[in-house]
Chain A
Amino acid sequence: MASNSVIHVVEDDRSMRESLVELLEDAGYAVRAYTRAEELLARDAALEPGCIVSDMRMPGMDGLTLLRRLRASGSTLPLMLITGHGDVSMAVRAMKAGAVDFLEKPFDADALLAAINEALRHRAGEMGEEDDETARQRLLKLTPREHEVFDYLVAGQSNKEIAARMGISPRTVEFHRAHIMEKTAAKGLPDLVRLSLLARPPQSAK
């Protein structure tokens, strides 16, 4: 499946970059590695089809800016972001700017490969079965309270922040969060963000 797809890896940390390349090559992908976002952007027009896996936080241009530049230049290559702790709100913004997914460090090989697989299917239009209407249907199952938590979650807030804002305990937020995941059949925060983007037109999204 991966034969004609090239994975572009943008990561400033040498060790991490090497390990990503090693894994992806083992999984049968053709891999191109870049130490800086600017390097990838320089070959924008010549980028092989496939998928971009970029670190969020790098010296010079960050992952979010890279994504915006690519979209501005008309590139539709799916881009997946790797974030460190505390970058979640930035990652949510990235999702809204058109990133296909984000992975929070640390993550293991299987998680990355699954995400890449998904991203490539996304490109192939195989995820078309999920339209705005079904997304809205799924969100309808949430109680008003869960809806509130959902809105904060997809705005990139942590459990603790949400608890403080709603005046409830972080454990209660955790509880709501588990229910939301169950009802929407989402695997993680990226799924939730995707869902909210589908259910609501971007301009009305928070």
Chain B
Amino acid sequence: MTGRVDPKLSNGAHAARERALASLDSLDDASVGLVNLPPTAIQIKSALAVGAGILMAVAVVAPFAATPLPRFAAFIPFLNATILVTDLVTAILLFAQFSISRSRGVLVLAGGYLFTALIVIPHALTFPGAFSPTGLLGAGVQTTAWLYILWHLVFPLALLTYAALEDSKFTVRGSIRSAIAYCVGITVSLALGIVWITTAGDPFLPRLFVNASELTPLGTYIPTFDLLICVIALAFLWLRRRSVLGLWLMVVACALIGELAITVVRFSLGFYVSRVLSVATSAIVLVILLSETTGLYMHLARTNQMLRRERDNKLMNIEAVVASISHEVKQPLATIVMRSSTALRFLGHAPPDLEKARSALKKIVNDGHRASQIFDNIRDLFRANDQTRVPVNVNKMILGVLDMLQGELAEHHVATRTELMPEPTLVMGHQGQLQEVLLNLIRNAIEAMDETKVDVRELRLSTASRDHDGAIISVLDTGPGIDPERLSSIFDAFVTTKPRGMGLGLAICRMIVERHGGRLVASSGDKGGALFQLVLPIAPDADEFSDRGSPAAQD
């Protein structure tokens, strides 16, 4: 039976399934959330706090930026090694984000981080006094400074490009691998080109340093040009500001601006603070990406667990359905065994009692048909050609079922009260199946009330709408109610519950309702008695339905 359950129809049928699906939906968003999701209020607040912290630190340091501090030769190699690792990891994670979102902006940004990771290597190697008094790679006096200037030009340009391309319509269509390969190729060539120009072309480059520690006038002003690019990038990011990533890139831009604003003569206070800020620049996005990835992983694990539990529930449902069917069929089979063994006894009498034996055999034939009829009834309920759903008028159905049960209700002295919604409510479904469920619930209620006094037996049927997309049918009796301990297991199998309905078990009822995209819930009424609530999705407008002619339940 499960093989035929249409996933569309069972969508949202079960609380757990709803939850699992809801988190699956949000998972789709979350997997590209950093790129696509707008930041939450908390994220905006924390970004503002970090940005303000950076700018405040810069403002405090700025007046004393030129103060000379002791020379610490290992500082740059140490710092650049840190930047190399963090930016490389950031670039890899951004490439991963790109492969999910296919956003060109993210690809360029990943390239920007990769570029930084590469350029810090020659920057450290050529730094005067780090590895050799004049720097490695045949560096001249200008090499390191120009590397720094170009590094702080290319990265903000990557930010700017990201901001310009952040719109989701700029996506890469072709192969992700080749897009990444191109990006890496271009970035590496750019870095190598810059290294070549700044080392081999050192004598021809405009002079930024007079000697290892004294700046030329150009050297003093050129960081301002980089700073300007950063400000433009920040402005662009501000104008776009649509994603979590964009938000934190603004913080990165702020850190870059601060860094460039106080970068002055080497080994001054400003120099040290500005280089620490460059580590911050590289770490911010990494931290955000990592926390995002961890959150995503947790989300995935939880969803997976929920789906597994859901599958177990479904298996239990099937078990309960099979148990109730086997119980139904066992009754005529037991009778057949009883009668046939009795018939054998009749034949064993001396003389054989042929008349009695014949009568018993006739009844056995009837019992055989009865057993077969049970299967027919069950099959009818789930018949394939009964899969087309039509709008069913709930009020009409309830009144019809009550009419059908009039005799039974009178026989058991049960009074009925109906509280139906005034306007006709349509649900999508199989009239026959839903009617069968309702019949079963009412029969259960009648049987339950057999144990109570005649004058208080009342069956209350009501309809109500829920959240504008569902109809609730409530069946409330004045019987002894359901033992709270049994509430959770009442649908599992009749074995653990009091034998109430002998018809179609509650397990099958629930299965039918869930296949309608609805829910069947049991509880105890406010003033005692058992309350069964049938929640069914309301049909779309009847006209719309006939236009579409589709049997799908709405979501």
Residues of chain A at the chain B interface (Cβ within 8 Å):
12-13, 15-16, 18-20, 22-23, 26, 38, 56-62, 84-87, 90, 105-110, 112
Contact = CB atoms under 8 A, between A and B. Distances in A.
Contacts of A61: 451
A197 B502 CA distance: 32
Interface string B39-71: 000000000000000000000000000000000
Question: Looking at chain B's contact residues, is the secondary structure mostly helix, strand, loop, or mixed?
Answer: helix
B450 A109 contact: no
Given A15-B367, A26-B345, A106 B333 contact: yes
B338 A86 contact: no
A38 B451 CA distance: 9
A22 B358 CA distance: 13
A150 to B, nearest CB: 23
Nearest to A107: B337
Interface in B486-513: 493-495, 498-502
Contacts of B337: 106-108
Contacts, number: 89
Contacts of A26: 342, 345-346, 356
B330 A85 contact: yes
A13 B334 CA distance: 11
B346 A16 contact: no
Contact of A105 (B330, B341, B451): B330
A106 B334 contact: yes
A57 B333 CA distance: 16
Interface in B357-401: 360, 363, 366-367, 370
Contacts of B336: 106
Given A16-B335, A59-B500, A108 B451 contact: no
Given A19-B342, A22-B360, A60-B451, A86 B327 contact: yes
A75 to B, nearest CB: 20
Given A59-B450, A107-B337, A16 B323 contact: no
Contacts of B341: 23, 108-110
Interface residues on B, range: 35 or more
Given A106-B336, A106-B337, A59 B502 contact: yes
Interface in B127-149: none
Contact of B502 (A12, A15, A22): A12
Contacts of B498: 62
A164 B401 CA distance: 45
Top 10 closest A-B pairs, CB basis?
Answer: A108-B341, A106-B337, A109-B341, A105-B334, A106-B334, A57-B499, A23-B342, A86-B495, A19-B338, A59-B447
Contacts of A15: 332, 335, 363, 366-367, 370
A19 B370 CA distance: 15
Given A59-B502, A60-B451, A106-B333, A20 B327 contact: no
18 contacts: A13-B331, A13-B335, A18-B363, A19-B335, A19-B338, A22-B339, A38-B450, A57-B499, A59-B499, A59-B501, A59-B502, A62-B499, A84-B330, A84-B334, A85-B330, A90-B495, A108-B338, A109-B341
A48 B360 CA distance: 28
Best-surrounded residue of A26, A60, A109 (most CB of chain B within 10 A): A109
B326 interface: yes
B507 to A, nearest CB: 13
Nearest to B353: A26
A109 B495 contact: no
B344 interface: yes
A161 to B, nearest CB: 12
Contacts of B326: 85
A23 B334 CA distance: 14
B339 A60 contact: no
A107 B335 CA distance: 9
Contact of A16 (B331, B356, B495): B331
Nearest to B367: A15
Best-surrounded residue of B335, B338, B341, B502 (most CB of chain A within 10 A): B338
B495 A87 contact: yes
A60 B331 contact: no
Contacts of B367: 15
A205 to B, nearest CB: 21
Nearest to A89: B495
A23 B345 contact: yes
A144 to B, nearest CB: 31
B493 A23 contact: no
A169 B40 CA distance: 55
A96 B346 CA distance: 36
Contacts of A23: 338, 341-342, 345
Given A16-B335, A16-B338, A19-B363, A106 B330 contact: yes
A59 B370 CA distance: 20
A106 B499 contact: no
Nearest to A58: B499
Nearest to B451: A60
A85 B334 CA distance: 11
A2 to B, nearest CB: 15
A95 B168 CA distance: 72
Contacts of B356: 22, 26
Given A19-B338, A22-B360, A60 B344 contact: no
Nearest to A110: B341
Contacts of A38: 450
A1 to B, nearest CB: 17
A106 B336 CA distance: 9
Nearest to A86: B495
Nearest to A59: B447
Contacts of A87: 495
A87 B494 CA distance: 10
Contacts of B345: 23, 26, 109
A86 B334 CA distance: 15
B333 to A, nearest CB: 6
A105 B332 CA distance: 10
Contacts of B360: 19, 22
Contacts of A107: 334, 337-338
B496 to A, nearest CB: 9
A110 B341 CA distance: 8
Contacts of B339: 19, 22
Contact of A84 (B327, B340, B500, B501): B327
A155 to B, nearest CB: 15
B498 to A, nearest CB: 7
A144 B360 CA distance: 49
A15 B340 CA distance: 13
Best-surrounded residue of A12, A38, A57 (most CB of chain B within 10 A): A57
B338 A60 contact: no
Given A18-B363, A59-B499, A85-B326, 9 more contacts: A15-B363, A15-B366, A15-B370, A16-B335, A22-B339, A26-B345, A57-B494, A107-B337, A110-B341
